[in-house]
Amino acid sequence: MTAPTAGAPADIFPTDGPAPGWLRDEPIGATITWTGCAGIVLAYEGTRICFDPFVSNPGFVDTFFRSARSDGERVRRSFADMSAIFVGHTHWDHAMDVAEVATISPSAVVYGSETTTEIVRRQGIGESQLHTVVDGEQLTVGPFRVEAVASRHGIVPVASKIDVIELRGTGMPRSPFRWPRGQVFSYRVTFADTSFYLHTSAGFEPEPFARQQPVDVVIACLAARQGTPDYFARIGAQLRPKVFIPCHHDNFLESQDRPPKPVPRLEWPQFLDDVAGLGRDYGTRLVQLPRGEAISF
Ligand SMILES: [Zn+2]
């Protein structure tokens, strides 16, 4: 990777992908796409699965004062032909586009907490496409094996105090900001002798996390990590990743029509120091994915 600088946008959000061989010397013929926020698409042997698909990015007014509306065209460009949709938690910046993704891929199953499957059900998605997960559950989708791991949310200053936790009553929340959090999950994915750990919110549930074995790649949320003591040290000690891919570091109140901007309190130079520490302790390499581009490995 390029040497750390003062944190100019081009360093935080490169437009070029990593050089070939960033994960394995011999490519396995898979791709990974960071679609913005915590969104990831993995494709291998004709099967496509996604995690926390969210590309609609409503702006400030629409987030706080209008009901959620997906950008159908952008969702189709980013999440066509999915076989499975995994959701880390139900906040809008992770789950608002899930029903739209399920609609355009009618054979895709939505995997997530009770809160996630219920909010998707309320948008008209049928039972055959809904699967509520529990901690430790092992799922198979084509060549992918996925384990659901109970986790916790990062602590968002101020917002934590007014956060909606459960979905109540009937119908949909009044605005994206009122989408409930529900139970939080991380996901471990293995295929073709390669393992990924998607940690899409910056907290930990200690016992489920302690169950985890080392992984090849960790994809970890940078937003709201400051309230979680030793966040990177705990990821490193438990997962010993070869590669660290940051996510949830772009400002999700900004439309994807424009280049990504940092999320508030990104503290990029501090992040580079922390990930350099993982490099010293475990040989971890930082890999940054350009938004919206499928990267081979
Ligand atoms: Zn959240």
| Three-state SS letters, 269-294 | HHHHHHHHHHHHHHCCEECCCCECCC
- For residue 110, report the phi and psi dihedrals to the nearest 5 degrees: -95, 120
Q: What is the DSSP string of 139-169?
A: EEETTEEEEEEEE-----TTHHHH---S--S
Residue 4 in any domain: the answer is no
Give the per-residue pLDDT at 10.
Answer: 77
pLDDT on residue 288: 98
Phi first, then psi, for residue 184 (nearest 5°) are -105, 135
Q: Has residue 88 been placed in a domain?
A: yes
pLDDT at 96: 98
Helix (H) or strand (E) holding 197: strand 194-199
| Ligand 1 centroid from CA 92, angstroms | 8
Distance (Å) from CA 104 to ligand 1 centroid: 25
Count up the domains in the chain and report the number. 1
Predicted local distance difference test score (pLDDT) of residue 13? 97
Which helix (H) or strand (E) is 100 found in, with range? helix 98-104
CA 50 / ligand 1 centre spacing (Å): 17
Which residues, at least 6 apart from 41, have a Cβ–Cβ distance to it below 8 Å?
Answer: 31, 32, 33, 35, 48, 49, 50, 51, 53, 78, 79, 82, 294
CA dist., res. 192 & res. 134, Å (int): 25
Taking the CA atoms of residue 94, residue 97, residue 102 and residue 104 in that order, the dihedral angle to the nearest 10 degrees is -140
pLDDT for position 163? 79
Cα(154) to centroid of ligand 1, in Å?
8
- Domain for residue 161, yes or no? yes
Ligand 1 geometric centre to CA of 90 (Å)? 7
Residue 281's Cα: distance from chain center in Å? 25
Q: Which helix (H) or strand (E) holds 246?
A: strand 243-247
Tokens for 134? 């529990």
Stretches in the chain below the pLDDT threshold 70: 1-8, 160-161
> Tokens 């200690």 identify what position?
206
For residue 193, how far is its CA from the centre of ligand 1 (angstroms)?
Answer: 31
Ligand 1 mean position, distance from CA 166 (Å): 13
Span from the CA of 20 to the centroid of ligand 1 (angstroms): 33
Q: How far is CA 195 from the centre of its chain?
A: 15
Please, are residues 54 and 95 in contact by the beta-carbon 8 Å criterion?
yes
272 Cα–ligand 1 center, Å: 23
Residue 1: predicted pLDDT: 45
Looking at residue 73, its pLDDT comes to: 97
Nearest to 111 by CA among 135, 134, 130: 130
CA distance 252 to 59: 8
Measured in angstroms, how far is the CA atom of residue 181 from the centroid of ligand 1?
Answer: 6
Give me the CATH number covering residue 248. Answer: 3.60.15.10
Pairing of strands 184-191, 217-221: unpaired
In a domain, 17, yes or no: no
Q: Is residue 6 part of a domain?
A: no
Host domain of residue 119: 30-296
Amino acid at 74: R
SS3 state of residue 198: strand
Distance between Cα 204 and ligand 1 center (Å): 13
**DSSP assignments along 107-137, one per residue:** TPEEEE-HHHHHHHHTTT--GGGEEE--TT-
What H or E segment, with its residue span, contains residue 189? strand 184-191
d(Cα 50, Cα 79) in Å, to the nearest integer? 8
Q: How far apart are CA 140 and CA 190, in angstroms?
A: 10
Ligand 1 mean position, distance from CA 93 (Å): 7
